Structure formats: C-alpha cells, structure tokens
Structure 1
C-alpha cells in the first residue's frame, strides 16, 4: 500500500470481551488494509486482555488505567502515524470495503479532510432489528451525499448530529492535528463536540452507502436519558461560547439558539413523562427564552398546550376515579 493511502485505525475498548474480536476482524478483513491498528484497552477487568493477546503482532495493544473513551481515543491519536485516521468502537464492525470507499472519496475531493458514511444500527433490545441511520434523520433531504456538503457542517450539526457515531469517521491526520484531542471533561456528547470543532476546520463528505453495523445497548432508564440530554446541552452551550466570533460572522446565531431551545423541549418532555410537570414546564419556558423565532414558538405552542391538555385531562380522570373508589 502506498503512503498516500496509509490509515491508522484507533479502537478504544473497555470490557469488550464479547465483541472485540469481531471489531478487530472487520478491520483485518478490509479490502484496503490499514497500515496501523491501535487498540487502547481502557482498564478492562473482564477477559478483554486475553482476547487482544490473540491478535498480538497484527495490532498494537496499549493498556491504560480507566479514564474513559475520550482519553483512550486521544492516546490512539498520539500514536497514529498514518496519513488518515479512522475510529472504530469495539462493539461495532465495518464492512470489508469501508476504508477503500472512504479513501477513494477523499482522494476525489482532496480539499476535504473529514468523511463519514451511512450505517446499520443494530438494536439488541429489539431482536437485533436493523435500521439505516440516515433514514432516522430529520434533515435527510439537506445532506447532499457523496460530495462535499453544500450547507455549513457546523450548522447542520447544531440542528442534528447527523454523523451519529465515530465508528464511521475517517479524517486526515493533518486535520486532526488542527482540531486537537477529544475533550476529557465530557462524559456525554464528546463525539459531537469533536465533530463541531472539526467542522470549523474542514468541510465534510457523507457517503450514502452503509459501511458498518452498529450495536445499540441503549437504556430507557429516565435518569440516563435526562443525563444524555443535559450532557448534549453542555456541549452545545460550550461550542457556542467557544466559537462565538465564527458564529456571529457566519450568521449562525439563530441556528444555535434554536438548537438549545430544542434541547430544552426534549428535556421538558422527559420530565413530563416522568411526572415532574413543574420541571417540564420550566424547561419549556427556558426553551422559549433561548429562541423566540417562529420555529421555536411553533414548537412551544404545540408542546406546551398539548402537555397542558394532557395534564388537565389526567387530573380530571384521577379525580373521577377517586370518587368512584369505595372508601376502605
């Protein structure tokens, strides 16, 4: 393989004994071989080390104390020597032509330093049902696939994380050097933060072809959902503050404000379903405070009054039910 197609693959892993071999095998099976495979074991206490040992000589194994996925990726970045760097989470797998397809696109558009692709999401909790990631996007029609994005990637990411997972991302190493490392302070949304920062360095290409399977082990526990939305709000807020001059210069202020408003509507909906209606309506009001544009006002009207109607109807139903219940 020529130096112009050298690829370093970074696989962060923590307690990945069930899936690590499948991820590694999917990299080794690529039609365009990776020049370097770096697996960073983030302090696993299961049988992950034993699984990795089977591949010694084919991969570079780095074991560190547990500090989270961002630190593991950063260690991988510091060791990467390829012209291109690709990320893969340990429980995902690539199709065999993933690297070949992405490098071909980057070579076709040499001014671009970031590429991602469609993928199948595998929902383990629902009998391994497969869904194409792009089919779930609200802004699907605005993503002109297989060539550089026409709209600003920062704007599109503020509206929706259309990339979804680092497992589909490949970047030029020179772009990574400009973007920097993953932010260690984020426990949620660290990938979105990185994508946003990258979007201010280079334009993106999004390939329409699915090139990976992604497993989802997600939970429906309310506290985890709240934590997730709150984490993304922190990422969005800090991105806006950090890049305010660029946002002002490119007239993205309205988009950023609406992104924060939508996040509060989502948080409010979760609190409402949890029965914390005071918190829910507080977040609805905060959303309107972030953005009073017509899209935000329309969401407010639809959300607020729909929830208010449910609240009043539920109260009346509960009161009638209590009247009919015999006294004990």
Structure 2
C-alpha cells in the first residue's frame, strides 16, 4: 500500500494536464499512486492521459462534476492518505515529502492542508523554494482552527483515507463549494494541521477557474447555510460558534461580491441567512457595510 493516492479530476484540460502530471512525477518522495478521473471531457484530454499508460490509472465517467470524479478516484485508491490535486494546479518537488514529514511528526492527523502559491505564468514560479524551516499550525480538529483562511481549494487537501470514507466524501453534484462542505464535515476528526511554509502547491489563475462563477458560489453558500440548519455538520450545540465562524468566513465575501455584481436579491438572502451568526461573532463592521450596500442598491431584480 502506498502512503499517498494522488487523485486528479480532469474536465477539458488537455492543454494543462501535462504540466500537472509532470509536477507529480518530479516529487522527491516516490511512494505514491496517481489516479486520474476523466469527467466526461469533450476535448482530447483522454488522448493526453493515454500517453501516460503504465504510470497512472485512468478512470472515466459521464460529466458529473469534480466532487463525483474525486469520489470515483477514491474508490480505486489504495493509499493511506488521499492527496488531491486539480488538473490546472501544480505541486512543487518537495510537496509529498513535506506532507510525509508532517504525517510522521504529528501522529498521522486526519486532515492536512498546505499553503498555496498563486501564479499566472510559469515564469513566476522560479522564485518559489523550500529553503526556510517547515512551519505548521496544529489543532485538535478543523473546527478548532477558527475563521482564518488556511486553505485554498481542494489542491490544499490531504486526508486520511479512512476518515474521508467515514465522512462520506465530496458532494457528488456538479457544484462549487464541495471543498468547504467536506472540510466542515471533517470538523471533529482528530488532528488538523496546516502547512504555513513552504508553499505546497501552485494555484493557476485563469479564466477557466470554476470558483470564478459567482452564481455557483452563491448556490454553494446557500447549501452551507441549509446544511448547518439541518444539523449535518458535526459538533452539536457546544461547537456551534466555531462552525458559524468558518461558515460565515466563506459567505461574507460572496455577499459582498453579489451586491457588487448586481445579484442583489441573492446577496440579501445570504445576508439575512447569516445575520444572527455574524451578530453573535461580533462582525459588526461587515453587517453595517452590507446593510449600507443593501439600502444603497435597493432590492431589485
């Protein structure tokens, strides 16, 4: 059994997947398997993947979204830990070796995340290195980590496979926000560690980023609110404030973006849906600012 199963969902990324795979092949730590799931691509992504026959496992499904694709990959996985990487992002040569060190030194935590390095061209990656000391933040679990941003998409995630399976995996719909949803469902799993330094993956900014779709982000925020109200996330009443802190951290930027982009009714709905939580968290500056935007724009179509 490998220490890591690397799970990569692919949808119409024929021009990018080569670079992503090469970044995995260049890892200094070699005890891993690579599982790539083609999520119904309509370009020649599948042809590109076939050129790596024997080095990767390729699975296919009708287009169902990245969450479902990752879940399919996990079904085939044999590694103790699942290391997720999106098909437009890159790892650095030290990424898996650093995660291995964290796993050994921190007692096999359930959930590990890594710091991102945002880039828009390969040239900007030349200055990234791992010469400084390893710096991490360690918490009893994810809910205890507070409302500071500590991860940046699913390429940040390394999850012990038994914990992932116990908590049901990713939302299988073709949606945004499946990363935040899973992180919250992992909220009480023993051991959460965030790697602050070095940077652990390169996040490519481009027009195809799924997180650039504001309407889908609004829908993802609504799902977080609904699932919290239904009691889906763990921790019970005694840990409600920790969940509110994390959920509202995700939703506040979406509220402001929705107001700014003219999605006024959506913004108002999210604002009202989280008003009590933000009030309890004493996020008065946000509440006053959002209320001012609401009054200034008026509720219109």
Q: Same fold (TM over 0.5)?
A: yes
Structure 2 gap ranges (5+): 126-133
Answer 1 or 2: which has greater helix percent: 1
Query: Cα offset for 1:54?
Result: 1.1
2:139 counterpart SS class: coil
Q: Does 1:47 align with 2:35?
A: no
Aligned 8 A contact 1:106 1:113 in 2: no
Asked whether 1:292 is paired with 2:279, we answer yes
Choose the corresponding residue for 1:212, options 187, 201, 213: 201
Secondary structure of 1:22's counterpart equals helix
Instruction: Evaluate the alpha carbon distance shift between residue 215 and residue 288 of structure 1 in structure 2; reply closer, same or farther with a 3 A threshold.
Output: same
Q: Evaluate the alpha carbon distance shift between residue 96 and residue 234 of structure 1 in structure 2; reply closer, same or farther with a 3 A threshold.
A: same
Aligned residues: 289
1:269 corresponding residue in structure 2? 256
SS in 2 for 1:50: helix
**Bigger relative CO (Cα 8 Å, ≥ 6 apart):** 2
| More displaced stretch, 162-171 vs 259-268 | 259-268
Q: Does 1:170 align with 2:167?
A: no
Q: 1: distance between equivalents of 2:89 and 2:247? A: 30
Question: What per-residue deviation string (whole Å, max 9, x for no partner) do you get for residues 208-266 of structure 1?
Answer: 1102111123589xx93243133123124314533467231xx3323444666666654
Instruction: Compute the RMSD of aligned alpha carbons.
Output: 3.4
Partner of 2:95: 98
Which string of whole-angstrom CA distances, capped at 9 and with x for unpartnered residues, describes residues 275-325 of structure 1? 5667756654554355533714443234424764x669xxxxxxxxxxxxx
Show the 5 A alignment for 1:140-179: 145-149=135-139, 152-154=141-143, 156=145, 159=147, 162-179=150-167
Partner of 1:68: 65
2:173 alignment counterpart: 185
> d(CA) in 2 for partners of 1:29 and 1:56?
17
Task: Tell me the equivalent position of 1:139.
Answer: none
- Is there any run of 5+ residues in structure 1 with no aligned partner, and where? 131-143, 313-328
Q: Look up the SS of the partner of 1:43 in the other structure.
A: coil
CA positional deviation for 1:22: 0.8
Does structure 1 residue 201 correspond to structure 2 residue 198? Answer: no
CA distance in 1, matches of 2:248, 2:124: 32
Structure 1 or 2, whichever has the larger Rg, is 1
TM-score, scaled relative to structure 1: 0.75
Q: TM-score of the superposition, structure 2-length normalised?
A: 0.81
